[in-house]
Amino acid sequence: MVTIMKFFYSLSLVLILLFSSTTTISAATEPAPAPSSAPTDIIRILKKAGGFTTLIRLLTTTQVSTQMNAQLLNSNNGMTLFAPNDNAFQSLKPGFLNSLNDQQKNELIQFHLLPSFVAITNFDTLSNPVRTQAGDDPERLALNITSSGNQVNLTTGIVNATLGGSVYSDHQLAVYQVDKVLLPKDFFLPKRPPPPAPSPEDKPKDSKKKSDADGPASSADASSANKRGVMLLLLTFFLVAVSSLL
Residue 107 belongs to a domain with what CATH number?
Answer: 2.30.180.10
**Residue 215: inside a domain:** no
Query: Is residue 174 in a domain?
Result: yes
53-61 vs 102-110: helix axis angle to the nearest 10? 120
Residue 78's domain spans which residues? Answer: 42-188
pLDDT band at 224 (very low <50, low <70, confident <90, very high): low
In a domain, 33, yes or no: no
Spatial distance between the Cα atoms of 73 and 96, rounded to a whole number of angstroms = 33
208: enclosing H helix or E strand: helix 202-245
pLDDT higher than threshold 60 for residue 117: yes
Would you say 154 and 161 are in contact if contact means Cβ atoms under 8 Å apart?
yes
Judged against a pLDDT cut of 70, whether residue 147 lies above it is answered with yes
**Which residue did the predictor score with more confidence, 38 or 86?**
86
Task: For residue range 39-62, list pLDDT tens digits in order.
Answer: 789 999 999 999 999 999 999 999
pLDDT level of residue 27 (50, 70, 90 thresholds): very low
Determine the Cα–Cα distance for residues 109 and 55; give it in Å rounded to an integer.
Answer: 8
* pLDDT value at 183 more than 70: yes
Comparing 118 with 235, the larger pLDDT belongs to 118
Query: Quick one: pLDDT at residue 40?
Result: 84
Q: So what's the pLDDT on residue 24?
A: 45
Range in 17-31, 157-171, 206-220 with the lowest mean pLDDT? 17-31
> What's the CA gap between 120 and 184, in Å, rounded?
23
Indicate the number of domains in the chain.
1
100 belongs to a structural domain? yes
**Whole-structure pTM value:** 0.65
